[in-house]
Amino acid sequence: MTLAGVDGCPAGWIMVKAIEEIYTYGLYRHFAHLTRDNPDIDRLLIDMPVGLSEKGCIRTLDQELRRHLKGRTSTVFNTPCRAAVYAENQEQAKKENLQLEGKSLSIQSLSLCPKIKEIDEYLRTNNDPIDIWESHPELCFTHLSSDHKTISVSKHDQAGRQLRLDLLASHDQSITTAYETILRNTRRKHVKSDDILDALCLCLVNTLAARAGFSFLQSPPLCDPQGIDMKIAFFRA
């Protein structure tokens, strides 16, 4: 079984793939290129919203996620509704979201719209898509630890990255080598160090949970009007 973890990055997308516990990686400008070039993937976990609000169906997962990430709620952005994601510009996106959900969108949320659209288009237009499950690295880091406590130090700091890398390595020592290899062979203007860490985390979680079982964060409604499941996958160590 071929499993992967995917995160957005300045160059587009970074994917870390595990085949028989060997990690490989790739950078892709568009999500469609990632899926085209990796037809062997059975399931990927992605740090991006999957399943969107429409009239009569409002996504509540973001609020639920914040309740589980006390001290790190700043890592959770409000997911734009589907009309906002497909809007022609940011001003129109803010209006669409305000009309449907009664709230505008932050710059961070607006910046996610193009990537969310790529995922949504893939799921809606492919008859037999790869299993794409939403996940969240900070939720995963929390439950990979033995005490299930959120790591308070930001991964934008070296100390925070090292704490998380050490946690991943406690489950698989080869993660450290994989991280250093990707870091050495990529440029930070294309992929940031925390993007690499997040993609590795999601790939590891995908692998661990394939053997021991997934946990899911869910909150009604459980799927959106397009039939796309709304759940956040993680592994409870």
C-beta of residue 192 within 8 angstroms of C-beta of residue 47 = no
- Is residue 227, in this structure, part of any structural domain at all? yes
C-beta of residue 118 within 8 angstroms of C-beta of residue 29 = no
- Is residue 24, in this structure, part of any structural domain at all? yes
Enclosing domain of residue 227: 1-77+114-237
- Is residue 95, in this structure, part of any structural domain at all? no
Say whether pTM exceeds 0.75. Answer: yes
Q: What is the CATH number of the domain that holds 1?
A: 3.30.420
Residue 131's DSSP bridge partners are 43
User: Please, what is the Cα angle at 190 between 141 and 77, to 5 degrees?
Assistant: 45
Number of structural domains the chain divides into = 1
- Is residue 56, in this structure, part of any structural domain at all? yes
- Is residue 63, in this structure, part of any structural domain at all? yes
- Is residue 107, in this structure, part of any structural domain at all? no
Q: CA-CA distance, 92 to 42, in Å (whole number)?
A: 36
**pLDDT by residue, tens only, the chain of 237 residues:** 899 999 999 999 999 999 887 999 999 999 999 999 999 999 999 999 999 999 999 999 999 999 999 888 888 999 999 999 999 999 999 999 999 999 999 999 999 999 999 999 999 999 888 999 999 999 999 999 999 999 999 999 999 999 999 999 999 999 999 999 999 999 999 999 999 999 999 999 999 999 999 999 999 999 999 999 999 999 999
Specify the residue for token string 């970074």.
14
- Is residue 118, in this structure, part of any structural domain at all? yes
- Is residue 99, in this structure, part of any structural domain at all? no
